[in-house]
Amino acid sequence: MTVVELSLVLLGVSILAGALGSLLGLGGGFVIVPVLTLVFHLDIRLAIGTSIVAVAATSSAGAARNVTESITNLRVATFLALATTLGAVTGALLAGVFDARFLFALFGIVLAVSGAQMIHKRRVPEVKEPIPGLETVGMHVGAAGGAASGGRMADRLALHSAYYDEAEGLDVPYLVANTGLGLALMYLAGTLSGLLGIGSGVLKVPAMDLAMHIPMKVSTATSNLLIGLTAAASAVVYFARGDIDPIIAGPVAIGVLLGATQGSKWLVGIRSDRLRVLFVGVLGVVAVQMIWKGIG
Amino acid sequence: MPPPARGHGALTPPSPRGVRAAVGRVLHAGVLMSAAILVTGYLVGLVGQPAAFGSHAVEKAHLAGRASFPHSFGAVWDGIGRGSGEAIIVAGVLVLILTPVAGIVTSAVAFARRRDWLFTAISATVLSVILGSFLLGWLSA
């Protein structure tokens, strides 16, 4: 292939990665890294550097729309970014200390467990009716269930909110729970992001959705913004190391931006349950891929 | 001052629509700016070095990780001055990386204007962690 031909192929793959990534609140790295290493036999170092650029592109393009559509919870994103950015720095520091194969396998197992949890989880029904006595933010969190530990922290930080569900045609209020656990999981997600150059939305979305009881759609949109902040905390390290090749990262960035813009358009009209099924499917594929890479 | 609630008895959003719109605009502007710089860089490279862009050997060098390209802020700046397409593409990538950071700065300013000091402090801490990582990048390079 010539450079121009390579650029066109990368552009096509990246449009797909961007669309899938922003649709699911992932960075898109789960498409970019396997394609670049397995199909193009690109040096893993450069694949990871390219991936972190794709991650930043997916995040910003998707988040720009989600934020404007009022799906993203900015307070949750800002608060959890404390943990993800610290984690990303930790990951960048730890890079090279751990055996990469062990990490791939571990990551695959974590994904498989999250996927299994999402299939078997008995959903706490999302509150469609106004919660009695909860007209203002930060009041006591009692009846709505799941407001166990961390509910008080969420109260103090006024993390509870509501989002407008276009498919259902109404405002859906929600209460945030287990804030401490969410913070711990986000630190782990940030560390893996810094270490592997991925968005780790596959961990961020379940941390908000399953642990913190934030509706799937809000979790996905908030994850989109968080991923970009996390990527920024490690991307400059990759750039300085010479892991971001403009001839590869340029076409990938343009493609991902195009795909992510389309993907987030679909997200606004899609139903949460369909998004969940698609998400679990992608999770399974990536898990197998990661474990295979770890033991293969 | 709580913003007006949407719908009947819905929870008051903790962050006003205006702030979200502003953050959305900043992210959107960053994405457009970076896309424009990326495409410009690619076209400048294509026009300036048609032989390299049509070359099989150059393609192989890039995939094998043997190609050289700017990877410091100084090299990118110098490259842009020389009209290097690669340097312009890297500049576009850097704008893309910094876009979410610009988003969080916008949101931090809004928190400060609403006198929400807790979230102003949280935003400032997040920003200092990210700036710290930039220093780490320089030191590790």
Range of the domain at A245: 3-295
**Chain B residues near residue A234 by CB distance under 8 angstroms:** 133
Cβ contact, residue pair B130, A85, below 8 Å = yes
Domain count for chain A, please give it.
1
pLDDT in the model for residue B31: 94
**Chain A residues near residue B53 by CB distance under 8 angstroms:** 2-4
Instruction: Note whether A42 and B65 are within 8 A (CB).
Output: yes
Question: Across all residues in chain A, what is the average pLDDT?
Answer: 77
Distance from CA of B1 to the nearest CA of A (A): 11
Lowest mean pLDDT among A123-132, A254-263, A269-278, B120-129: A123-132
Q: What ipTM describes this predicted complex?
A: 0.83
Please compute the mean of the pLDDT values over residues A249-265 and round it to a whole number: 85
Burial class of A284 by CB neighbour count within 10 A (0 to 12, 13 to 18, 19+): middle
Distance from CA of B92 to the nearest CA of A (A): 8
Q: Which of A6, A160, A249 sits opposite B11 (nearest CB)?
A: A160
Who contacts A69 (Cβ-Cβ below 8 Å, separation ≥6)? A164, A221, A268
- For residue A214, pLDDT over 60 is answered with yes
**Chain B residues near residue A243 by CB distance under 8 angstroms:** 71
Question: CA-CA distance, A267 to A205, in Å (whole number)?
Answer: 15
Q: What pTM did the predictor assign?
A: 0.80
- For residue A279, pLDDT over 50 is answered with yes
Tokens 């679909």 map to which residue? A266
pLDDT in the model for residue A32: 82
What confidence tier does B127 reach under pLDDT thresholds 50, 70, 90? very high
Question: CA-CA distance, A201 to A27, in Å (whole number)?
Answer: 6
* Predicted confidence (pLDDT) per residue in A51-92, tens digit: 889 988 888 887 887 777 778 888 899 999 999 999 998 887
Question: CA-CA distance, A89 to A81, in Å (whole number)?
Answer: 12
pLDDT top residue among A295 and B43? B43
What confidence tier does A144 reach under pLDDT thresholds 50, 70, 90? very low
Residues paired with residue A170 on neighbouring β-strands, in sequence order: A165
